[in-house]
């Protein structure tokens, strides 16, 4: 389910041969934007390349999870993950996570394209609602999510602590 971004390269689900590039992109996101993600780089930086290849297979979109990536000239420059609930009473829900676009590729519509791909995947899985969380103060991401049709429905306090500072998150959702 590829989507075209503003420079014509496809957005696609992650593939096993993306393992090394996905690892690099994810670790960059966690390091550059430590308050945007609850995962710490130390949780992933020692995982072997085989783990990343298996992670890519699990997130190819065939099951209940997908990671979409965007590349520019053969280099991954953005990502967004989405997973659906498998709990019987919650199979109508999906959650978007790990949205990141490299600084040099920002402002090109990639965040919107990645979100569109994740939402399209959720629709293909018969999901009725998609949610996500964004750190309070990350106004650029908040605006991107609002443009994609997400609305804020709450604020969760003290979701994470980084360098001794607690960070809240805005909770957002979009009905499909």
Residue 166 · residue 158 · CB < 8 Å = yes
pLDDT at 7 exceeding the cut of 80: no
pLDDT at 4 exceeding the cut of 50: no
Band of the pLDDT at 10, cuts 50, 70, 90? confident
At 3 the pLDDT is 47
Of the chain, the percentage scoring pLDDT greater than 70 comes to 95
- Please write the tens of the pLDDT for every residue from 68-81: 999 998 899 999 99
Fold of 3-175: Aminopeptidase (3.40.630)
Residue 110 · residue 70 · CB < 8 Å = yes
Pairing state between β 129-135 and 151-162: unpaired
What is the residue extent of each domain of the chain?
3-175
Averaged pLDDT, 150-172: 98
pLDDT at 30 exceeding the cut of 60: yes
At 73 the pLDDT is 87
CA 8, 66, 146, 99 torsion: positive or negative?
negative
Helix (H) or strand (E) holding 147: helix 139-147
Q: What is the mean pLDDT of the chain?
A: 94
Q: Which DSSP string do the residues of 43-57 spell out, in sequence order? A: GTTT--HHHHHHHHH
CA pair distance 45, 7, nearest whole angstrom? 31
CA pair distance 132, 123, nearest whole angstrom? 16
Residue 106 neighbours by CB distance under 10 Å: 14
- Please write the tens of the pLDDT for every residue from 93-137: 999 999 999 999 999 999 999 999 999 999 999 999 999 999 999
Q: How far apart are the first and last CA of the chain?
A: 18
Averaged pLDDT, 158-176: 98
Residue 29 · residue 100 · CB < 8 Å = yes
- What pTM does this model have? 0.92
For 110, the 3-state DSSP assignment is helix
At 8 the pLDDT is 55
Helix (H) or strand (E) holding 75: strand 75-84
Name which residue leads in pLDDT, 5 or 79.
79
């Amino acid at each position: 389910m590829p989507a075209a971004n503003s420079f014509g390269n496809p957005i696609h689900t992650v593939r096993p041969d993306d393992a090394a590039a996905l690892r690099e992109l994810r670790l960059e996101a966690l390091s550059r934007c430590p308050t945007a993600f609850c995962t710490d780089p130390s949780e992933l930086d020692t995982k072997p390349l085989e783990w990343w290849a298996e992670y890519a297979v699990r997130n190819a979109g065939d099951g209940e999870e997908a990671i979409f990536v965007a590349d520019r000239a053969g280099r991954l420059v953005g990502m967004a993950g989405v997973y659906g609930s498998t709990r019987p009473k919650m199979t109508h829900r999906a959650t978007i996570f790990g949205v990141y676009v490299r600084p040099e590729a920002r402002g090109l519509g990639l965040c919107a394209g990645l979100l569109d791909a994740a939402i399209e995947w959720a629709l293909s899985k018969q999901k009725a609602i998609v949610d996500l969380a964004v750190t309070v103060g990350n106004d650029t991401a908040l605006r991107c999510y609002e443009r994609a049709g997400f609305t804020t429905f709450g604020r969760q306090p003290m979701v994470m602590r980084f360098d001794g500072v607690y960070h809240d998150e805005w909770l957002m959702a979009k009905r499909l």
